[in-house]
Chains A and B, each alone.
Chain A
């Protein structure tokens, strides 16, 4: 050590192969940044003409672009929010079942089974929603509306086909179950075993152990898992496009046949026939959707990353 001069670390010779290879990896990595920037830039450029769109170019009797977008954004957020309300408790239950209730040997296989749900293409879920789910839930909807007509969400008249925003939300919930389950399962498994054993040693039942050791430890992770699920639900297209017959309304009623559409479904349904400014308007809606999902995802990732630094798990 002492014989070596202070700052002459031996450097490996840089061969041309090294330079070419390392440069190409940097280029590929930077390409990701470029692509994301390009997505934003091209969407912005193509959606600028939409701001000048008048009444003739817009569906639903809107006077300008913002009036047109408002009900669509409402529908997007509304459907995704209901889906999230349905999916989060069930996913947490599944994740707890796999991580803390099921026999150890079965846990891995059960995880695979839930992951299978993620492999089903969305268009198949759309077909299933129309053919199986909608007829199955329609009687329940009628029952709900008869039972609680005073409750604004269940206001009548009930759709005769069952193809309502609630049906869509149920299918969306099924589609985001796997991602929320997978993430929260990982987080529950990271709970320090000592915390769990300490709780049990103090005489806690299994549920009390989960409530005082597992859930508080996993709370940020649960929040971010739910937000990633929300991001998926916001951008999901085909189920909404197939199940709902859209209209441009802002309505909280869950069971009626007139339902707000979502941004993604609106684009998918109208794009094939769109022309001129119509295309720009749809791209503009896409941009709004992109911004919303980007914000949700960034927030979720930020929460995860912030937590990574002080959790002892890794």
Chain B
């Protein structure tokens, strides 16, 4: 192949616009060859040393060989500018593939490690009086659902009304200030939100070691409100002004216009945004660790006593392993799998709602 390239390169042409081009298959052929050579090299190395074949090493070396070879060939035939262009194309594509690796790896390991304990018992029993194998996460699932529900009930009205203010009423410095602070609020570390809820409630109740579910809901709301505001604001902005004007022209007051015309038009998008916001906070661990605490039994009272949640369950099972280590690790992974499935489900439902229930734009 490199012979072919050199025979092309032999015809030196001065005009850069009509300079020689490598045939279209060259990059792919070079890549294949480079990977093959590196694979054979690593194979021989592995065979001689008696070690297992190192796939990752072979791919990395193959890629480096490819970058070098394509640069040399292209430089020879097409000039240095095109050579750099080809190398950059390869690097940019590599960056994308590098990002896919952890995603695939996380999904794969969670499924493989989570399935052994992903059984009925996991979803029907708690960890009460369980040492070693057995037990389940029903107490954690209950807690997660209750706390997230409470957080949603707190955040959605506040977030939605704020979005309505920003789009329909707001003007001047207050609007600009709120917009800026909502953006800043999206960056609050989750653990700080947990500390805030703790500081707030321990001052109010005078209990220096306070742990309860509603505090966790407040902490999650701090994280959730800005997301709800952002997404609802975008959706309200999409409502065409003609609809509002038509409503005003019929003599409908502004607030009824918003409630009866603007909100129904954008409801699908708002629901999607809320679902995505829930998906974002349901996996939060740090604030729950601080204000909801650990427990091994079911507690469905948000206003009293510690409450277990699924992310904290995963953390606790992994970090505080008992004598039967494998049982704890299996439970942790099963919890992780459950959590990922919940998040995935929320995401899918949100996308489906966005796709099928959104108002048809244009005709």
**Structural contact, B196 and A42, CB atoms closer than 8 A:** yes
Q: Which of B180, B258, B279, B318 contacts A301 (CB 8 A)?
A: B180
A203 to chain B, nearest CB (A): 7
Q: Assuming A25-B165, A290-B188, A298-B184, is B199 touching A45 (CB within 8 A)?
A: yes
Q: Is A297 an interface residue (CB 8 A)?
A: yes
Q: Is B178 an interface residue (CB 8 A)?
A: yes
Complex-state Cα separation, A209 to B195, whole angstroms: 48
Q: Is A123 an interface residue (CB 8 A)?
A: yes
Output the nearest chain A residue to B313 by Cβ-Cβ distance.
A123
B residues near A279, Cβ cutoff 8 Å: 208
B229 to chain A, nearest CB (A): 7
Q: Which of A31, A174, A293 contacts B189 (CB 8 A)?
A: A293
Task: Name which of B178, B192, B311 has the most chain A CB atoms within 10 A of its CB.
Answer: B192
Give 1 or 0 for each of B179-194: 1 = CB within 8 Å of chain A CB.
Answer: 0111111111111110
Q: Assuming A127-B314, A207-B88, A272-B294, is B184 touching A21 (CB within 8 A)?
A: no
Q: Is A289 an interface residue (CB 8 A)?
A: yes
**Structural contact, B340 and A124, CB atoms closer than 8 A:** yes
Q: Which of B6-14, B28-36, B77-85 contacts A (4 or more CB under 8 A)?
A: B77-85
**Structural contact, B187 and A294, CB atoms closer than 8 A:** yes
Q: Which of A58-66, A146-154, A229-237, A247-255 contacts B (4 or more CB under 8 A)?
A: A229-237
Complex-state Cα separation, A241 to B226, whole angstroms: 26
Q: Is B264 an interface residue (CB 8 A)?
A: no
Q: Is A212 an interface residue (CB 8 A)?
A: no
A177 to chain B, nearest CB (A): 6
B residues near A12, Cβ cutoff 8 Å: 248, 253-254
Complex-state Cα separation, A89 to B99, whole angstroms: 11
Task: Name which of A26, A42, A242 has the most chain B CB atoms within 10 A of its CB.
Answer: A42
Q: Which of B41-49, B118-126, B281-289, B352-360 contacts A (4 or more CB under 8 A)?
A: B281-289
A residues near B56, Cβ cutoff 8 Å: 136
Q: Which of B99, B177, B226 contacts A90 (CB 8 A)?
A: B99
Give 1 or 0 for each of A9-35: 1 = CB within 8 Å of chain B CB.
Answer: 000100101101110111111111101
Complex-state Cα separation, A38 to B181, whole angstroms: 13
Q: Is A161 an interface residue (CB 8 A)?
A: no
Give 1 or 0 for each of A98-113: 1 = CB within 8 Å of chain B CB.
Answer: 1001100000001001
Q: Is B305 an interface residue (CB 8 A)?
A: no
Complex-state Cα separation, A38 to B198, whole angstroms: 12
Task: Name which of B102, B180, B282 has the most chain A CB atoms within 10 A of its CB.
Answer: B102
Output the nearest chain A residue to B178 by Cβ-Cβ distance.
A29
Task: Name which of A22, A91, A232, A296 has the most chain B CB atoms within 10 A of its CB.
Answer: A22
**Structural contact, A203 and B192, CB atoms closer than 8 A:** no
Output the nearest chain A residue to B110 by Cβ-Cβ distance.
A124
**Structural contact, B196 and A123, CB atoms closer than 8 A:** no
Q: Is B361 an interface residue (CB 8 A)?
A: no
Complex-state Cα separation, A232 to B94, whole angstroms: 24
Output the nearest chain B residue to A37 by Cβ-Cβ distance.
B181
Q: Which of A119, A130, A237 contacts B343 (CB 8 A)?
A: A119
Complex-state Cα separation, A275 to B202, whole angstroms: 13
Q: Assuming A21-B255, A264-B189, A289-B191, is B102 touching A127 (CB within 8 A)?
A: no
Q: Is A276 an interface residue (CB 8 A)?
A: yes
B residues near A208, Cβ cutoff 8 Å: 81, 85
How would you classify the secondary structure of chain A's contact residues: helix, strand, loop or mixed? helix
A283 to chain B, nearest CB (A): 5
B residues near A114, Cβ cutoff 8 Å: 99
Q: Is B91 an interface residue (CB 8 A)?
A: yes
**Structural contact, A305 and B254, CB atoms closer than 8 A:** no
**Structural contact, B103 and A116, CB atoms closer than 8 A:** yes
Complex-state Cα separation, A25 to B170, whole angstroms: 9
**Structural contact, B285 and A32, CB atoms closer than 8 A:** no
Output the nearest chain B residue to A175 by Cβ-Cβ distance.
B102
**Structural contact, A43 and B196, CB atoms closer than 8 A:** yes
A residues near B285, Cβ cutoff 8 Å: 121-123, 237-238, 268
Output the nearest chain B residue to A40 by Cβ-Cβ distance.
B196
Give 1 or 0 for each of B89-103: 1 = CB within 8 Å of chain A CB.
Answer: 101111110111011
Contacting residues of chain A (39-71) with chain B, CB-CB under 8 angstroms: 39, 42-43, 45-46
B285 to chain A, nearest CB (A): 5
A220 to chain B, nearest CB (A): 16
Complex-state Cα separation, A25 to B169, whole angstroms: 8
B326 to chain A, nearest CB (A): 13
Complex-state Cα separation, A232 to B188, whole angstroms: 8
Binding site for A on B (CB under 8 A): 16-17, 56, 81-82, 84-85, 88-89, 91-96, 98-100, 102-103, 105-106, 109-110, 113, 157-162, 164-166, 168-170, 174, 177-178, 180-193, 195-196, 198-200, 202-203, 208-209, 222, 225-226, 229, 248, 253-256, 258-259, 279-280, 282-286, 289-290, 293-294, 311, 314-315, 318-319, 332-333, 336, 339-340, 343-344, 347
- Since A271-B290, A293-B188 are in contact, a sample of 7 more A-B pairs with Cβ atoms closer than 8 Å, ordered by chain A residue number, is A28-B159, A39-B193, A94-B95, A97-B95, A128-B106, A234-B189, A293-B192
CB pairs A–B below 8 angstroms (10 shown): A113-B100, A114-B99, A177-B99, A236-B189, A238-B286, A268-B286, A275-B208, A283-B198, A283-B199, A298-B184
Binding site for B on A (CB under 8 A): 12, 15, 17-18, 20-22, 24-33, 35-36, 38-39, 42-43, 45-46, 89-94, 96-98, 101-102, 110, 113-114, 116-117, 119-128, 130-132, 136, 174, 177, 181, 203, 205-208, 210, 228, 231-232, 234-238, 241-242, 264, 267-268, 271-272, 275-276, 279, 282-283, 286, 289-290, 293-294, 296-298, 301, 305
